[in-house]
């Protein structure tokens, strides 16, 4: 999927026809007798010289001298030799997406965390990196103890640069990183965590032609953290019209294409409550599907920096390169919504 997006942005029938040669070459390089081989975008660009959307002219191709990609003769196929950066830095983003289904009374029905460690590497030469996490299995294997929380990771998947044998035997993560952007680790956790947000919706029918919504959104994470770009989508009757909104926080819009209203809050501090009131007019002759909105859950979107729900932490990131230069590692923690839904008790 990543290779497809990097090459074609959007894959449609027309783009497949226009780029048939490129697609054929991509599959030929990525697979060998049905087994995956090279999947690094930058390395594939070294192999495949054909431009997508248009073919090279015959005159141009005659002048092109065949060259062996550096990755072919290099033991580290995902990183070419001779890379030089003016400033040696590594940026590591620990991103967790929280998916939850919450009942009308605030009880958690289902929760899942999908996490990944994304890396931006700007290091010269052939550096060797060692990453330490608060991995429960590592502490158990080495007999060490930790003052903080230890996390038991599930369904771990590594980038091909990670030495799997070292991880399986010693639970240490060592690797020679690709240059630029890469997804180093993905993992999944099934944890019973406290909801970061709860939303209560009270619906009152003033008459057959008027309905009012009273919405209370509450943040349950620590007061020192702030959620950014919070979006709360509350379903409304399919035949609702003439909306009227009142809130002291953010803005509210009616989204008729979704049969919902969207409450946008730019910044939502922890341990806060925010209120919103909405009124709609209804036709005197009701739609047969008017009450279906009651079965649809509220959806919440958000992003909280400096927070991970699982408690995973980068304990250290050691960088060793034969030239002996010093590099700066930067770590950032982000929690985002996955499929975050709250059932309405109406």
Concatenated DSSP letters of 130-192:
EEEE-BHHHHHHHT---SS--B--EEEEE-TTB-HHHHHHH--EEE-PPSEEEEEEEEEE---
CA atoms of 138 and 168, how far apart (whole Å): 10
Question: What is the pLDDT at residue 73?
Answer: 46
CA atoms of 255 and 261, how far apart (whole Å): 5
Contact 300, 199 (CB under 8 A): yes
C-alpha 87, offset from chain centre:
27
**List of the chain residues with pLDDT < 70:** 1-11, 41-43, 45-47, 49-75, 140-148
> Which of 54-62's residues contact partners 24+ apart within 8 Å by CB, and which partners?
55/21
| Cβ neighbours around 217 below 10 Å, total | 26
CA atoms of 62 and 295, how far apart (whole Å): 65
Question: What is the pLDDT at residue 47?
Answer: 65
Tokens read off for 344: 């309405």
Question: What is the pLDDT at residue 143?
Answer: 64
CA dihedral 62, 64, 66, 68 (to 10 degrees): -160
CA atoms of 197 and 301, how far apart (whole Å): 10
Hey, which bits of the chain come out as E strands? 31-32, 35-36, 89-102, 108-122, 128-133, 154-158, 173-175, 180-189, 197-207, 210-219, 226-235, 241-247, 251-255, 260-269, 273-281, 298-305, 314-320, 328-342
Question: What is the pLDDT at residue 6?
Answer: 66
Tell me whether residue 248 is exposed, middle or buried, using C-beta atoms within 10 angstroms of its C-beta: 0 to 12, 13 to 18, 19 or more: exposed
Question: What is the pLDDT at residue 62?
Answer: 44
CA atoms of 323 and 176, how far apart (whole Å): 15
CA atoms of 119 and 95, how far apart (whole Å): 11
Question: pTM score, two decimals?
Answer: 0.78
Tokens read off for 100: 């939850």
Alpha helices in the chain (DSSP H): 2-8, 13-18, 20-30, 41-47, 58-63, 136-142, 164-170
Tokens read off for 128: 């060797």
CA atoms of 121 and 271, how far apart (whole Å): 36
CA atoms of 125 and 176, how far apart (whole Å): 10
Residue 188 half-sphere exposure toward CB, CA atoms < 13 A = 7
């Amino acid at each position: 999927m990543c290779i497809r997006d990097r090459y074609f942005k959007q894959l449609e029938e027309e783009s497949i026809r226009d780029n048939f040669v490129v697609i054929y070459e991509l599959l030929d390089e990525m697979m060998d007798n049905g087994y995956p081989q090279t999947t690094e975008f930058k390395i594939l660009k070294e192999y495949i010289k054909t431009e997508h959307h248009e073919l090279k002219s015959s005159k141009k191709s005659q002048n092109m001298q065949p060259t062996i990609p550096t990755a072919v003769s290099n033991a580290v196929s995902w990183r070419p030799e001779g890379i030089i950066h003016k400033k040696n830095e590594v940026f590591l983003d620990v991103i967790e997406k929280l998916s939850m289904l919450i009942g009308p009374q605030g009880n958690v029905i289902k929760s899942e965390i999908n996490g990944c460690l994304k890396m931006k590497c700007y290091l010269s030469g052939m550096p060797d990196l060692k990453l330490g996490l608060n991995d429960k299995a590592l502490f158990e294997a080495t007999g060490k103890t930790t003052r903080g929380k230890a996390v038991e990771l599930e369904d771990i998947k590594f980038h091909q640069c990670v030495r799997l044998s070292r991880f399986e035997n010693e639970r240490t993560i060592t690797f020679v990183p690709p240059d630029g952007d890469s997804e180093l680790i993905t993992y999944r956790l099934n944890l019973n965590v406290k909801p970061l947000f709860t939303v209560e919706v009270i619906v009152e029918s003033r008459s057959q032609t008027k309905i009012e919504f009273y919405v209370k959104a509450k943040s349950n994470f620590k007061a020192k953290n702030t959620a950014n770009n919070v979006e709360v989508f509350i379903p409304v009757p399919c035949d609702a019209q003439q909306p009227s909104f009142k809130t002291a926080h953010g803005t509210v819009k009616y989204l008729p294409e979704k049969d919902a209203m969207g409450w946008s809050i730019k910044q939502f501090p922890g341990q806060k409550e925010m209120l919103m009131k909405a009124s709609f007019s209804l036709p005197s002759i009701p739609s047969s599907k008017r009450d279906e909105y009651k079965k649809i859950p509220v959806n919440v979107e958000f992003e909280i920096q400096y927070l991970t729900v699982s408690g995973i932490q980068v304990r250290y990131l050691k960088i060793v390169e034969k030239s002996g230069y010093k590099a700066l590692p930067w770590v950032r923690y982000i929690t985002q919504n996955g499929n975050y839904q709250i059932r309405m008790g109406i």
